[in-house]
Amino acid sequence: MLTRVFENAERLWHERLTAKLISTALIGSFLLGLGLASLSYFEIVQQPISFFVSIDIAFTVLLIFEVLGLIFILPKSVADSLGKQFEIFSIILLRSAFKEFGAINSTITLDHLSQSDFYYMFFDAFGALIIFLIIGFYYKNQRHERITDTEEEQIEFIQFKQVLAIGIFLVFVGLGVHDLYRVVDMGVYDPSINTFYLFLIFTDILVLLYSLRYTTRYYNIFRYSSFAFATVLIRMALSAEPIVNVLMGLLAGTFVLGLSYTYNYFMETRNETEVVDQASL
């Protein structure tokens, strides 16, 4: 029942109409931000609102859709799911760079060189660029290998991850409702993305433990465990101070890229050894 619901939702997610609706939502949120800033500029609204808040709102809506995309990727590939997490993190860094640029309300002068916020903008932007580069190599080097022996086991494993994805979706909706309540009731905008990544860590661990039903090979166990650790690093980066968050993100990206190349190398060596052993029989 749950898996059928997930499959129907996934089919709808990949429809062309859905892409158009997402684009419309992004444009609408961007124009909403510009409208609020215009009301503030002409003093119709007393609260000062920067025009760059429109970018912040649009990027926040974009992140929501990116997280939904992550939920649909998880049942297909844990490795691609991790790549999507890095994509989300890079967008968060870009959003931070725009926010820091929007805070600069005057002409750039030599005085800005003594302000730390001025450098944070460049650290976030170039950090996002380097992570973008790492993601490209990560996807290019990614090789998917089934850990199940039969088609029935593969279907069972996918269905388990689909149920997990539904659970993540419910958590995501719950966190979103909580954030909306805080905005309306207390006027505090503090996205619960850190808490969401915490749930992703537990999800990765659950996938690892469930995968032991099908394989106890050291290479697979280490790979899945490393995916969970990479999510831990991303979670730490999201809550870290400026500059440290970029360094933590780059450390996490370098870790998974090294894992990918090392895993592929030893898998190729292992397969070649198995071919030689079979030929010698």
pLDDT at 62: 92
Highest mean pLDDT, choosing among 79-88, 110-119, 171-180: 79-88
* Sequence-separated (6 or more) residues with CB below 8 Å from residue 229: 255
CA 234 to CA 147: how far, in whole Å?
26
State what percent of residues in the chain have pLDDT above 90: 47
Query: Has residue 280 got a pLDDT over 70?
Result: no
pLDDT mean over 231-256: 93
Q: How many C-beta atoms surround the C-beta of residue 233 within 10 A? A: 19
Query: Has residue 113 got a pLDDT over 70?
Result: no
pLDDT at 105: 61
pLDDT at 276: 44
* Sequence-separated (6 or more) residues with CB below 8 Å from residue 101: 52, 121
Q: Where are the domains of the chain?
A: 2-104+114-280
Question: Per-residue pLDDT tens for 178-197?
Answer: 888 887 777 667 778 888 88
pLDDT at 30: 94
DSSP state of 46: S
More confident residue, 169 or 105: 169
CA 131 to CA 125: how far, in whole Å?
10
pLDDT at 267: 79
Determine the residue type at 216: T
pLDDT band at 272 (very low <50, low <70, confident <90, very high): low
Query: Has residue 251 got a pLDDT over 60?
Result: yes
Question: Per-residue pLDDT tens for 132-173?
Answer: 999 999 999 888 778 888 999 999 999 999 999 999 999 999
Determine the residue type at 37: A
* Sequence-separated (6 or more) residues with CB below 8 Å from residue 63: 88, 91, 92, 95, 191, 193
